Amino acid sequence: MHSETVTTGAMPRTRRYYRTELLIVLGLSLGQSAVYSIVNLAEKATRAPLASQTTALNPVLNEREFFDLLYQLLGIFFALVPVALVLFLMTSPGRSAFRKIGFTFSRPGIDFGLGFGLAAVIGAGTLGVYAAGRALGITTAVVPAALDQYWWTVPVLVLSALRHAVLEEVVIVGYLFDRLARLGWSTWAIIFTSALIRGSYHLYQGVGPGIGNFLMGLIFGYAYTRTRRVMPLVVAHALLDIAGFVGYALFGPAIGIGS
């Protein structure tokens, strides 16, 4: 038998191609989350006052410990598939997508210095927006960690925080900024659109978190345009979520969130 090699030309990367690719990626990931979040907010708002309702993050997925752990890990793994997809799509000959968007640890000073600084600023602002939203009745009570207490609870919450950080910053910043720039969008239009999508997929928690995450998106987007690195954003986002998830799991309502 003879082996046959088939060579095909690469699909031309036109604006139409990038628009189609972008819609598919968002439809498989955070764009889909945004649509569900908006519908979820509408359902909650028409059921009862938002202030009287509770939104649980990281909920129990099964009443049996082993299967709960298994479902948690599977959820984290498959949530990261869109990240693998966009990194694959953005890789070009001679240059990896990791380097293109700064998703490396090649500049630890900027990555961790800026990451910790952003986490401090956003963390303080988040608590303020949450408190204001609760006072105005436009935010549900948020329970950051609703898992049962097992030996694996804290490690899974840390992994969940890393999942959110990597997925959101790689897709909604690194990938989106690259593709919208190729479509000819201006820098501030890209920053605003990225922040708008970020805010929209948090609306299931209420209007307050949507506004807070929109503002966070503006800050993160501007920081990315200055550094061209998503790693500081991943670091900041991971720190915020780890503090919220693990802090609540360890100390519960004593930290003030969810009340």
pLDDT: which is higher, 201 or 254: 201
| 121: containing domain | 37-255
Cβ atoms < 10 Å from Cβ of 127: 15
Kindly state the tokens that stand for 76.
């984290």
Report d(CA 259, CA 252) in Å as an integer. Answer: 10
Kindly state the tokens that stand for 145.
């960690």
Give a yes or no: residue 155 inside a domain: yes
Kindly state the tokens that stand for 214.
């929109």
Give a yes or no: residue 134 inside a domain: yes
Task: Say how many domains are in the chain.
Answer: 1
Helix (H, G, I), strand (E, B) or coil at 54: strand
Cβ atoms < 10 Å from Cβ of 214: 20
DSSP per residue, the chain: --------PPPP--HHHHHHHHHHHHHHTHHHHHHHHHHHHHHHHTTS-GGG-EEESS----SSHHHHHHHHHHHHHHHTHHHHHHHHHH-BTTB-HHHHTT-SSS-HHHHHHHHHHHHHHHHHHHHHHHHHHHHHT-BPEEES------TTHHHHHHHHHHHHHHHHHIIIIIIHHHHHHHTT--HHHHHHHHHHHHHHTTGGGBHHHHHHHHHHHHHHHHHHHHH--SHHHHHHHHHHHHHHHHHHHHHGGGGSTT-
* pLDDT band (50, 70, 90) for residue 9: very low
Question: pLDDT tens digits, residue range 152-211?
Answer: 999 999 999 999 999 999 999 999 999 999 999 999 999 999 999 999 999 999 999 999
**Length of the chain measured in residues:** 259
8 pLDDT above the threshold of 80: no
pLDDT at 13: 82
Give a yes or no: residue 126 inside a domain: yes
Phi/psi-derived region of residue 184, left when phi > 0, alpha when psi is between -120 and 50, beta in every other case: left
Give a yes or no: residue 121 inside a domain: yes
Question: pLDDT tens digits, residue range 28-41?
Answer: 999 999 999 999 99
Give a yes or no: residue 5 inside a domain: no
Cβ atoms < 10 Å from Cβ of 98: 17
Give a yes or no: residue 26 inside a domain: no
Report d(CA 180, CA 10) in Å as an integer. Answer: 21
* pLDDT band (50, 70, 90) for residue 6: very low
Give a yes or no: residue 202 inside a domain: yes
Give a yes or no: residue 49 inside a domain: yes
Report d(CA 97, CA 90) in Å as an integer. Answer: 5
- What phi and psi, each to the nearest 5 degrees, are found at residue 191? -60, -45
Report d(CA 234, CA 100) in Å as an integer. Answer: 15
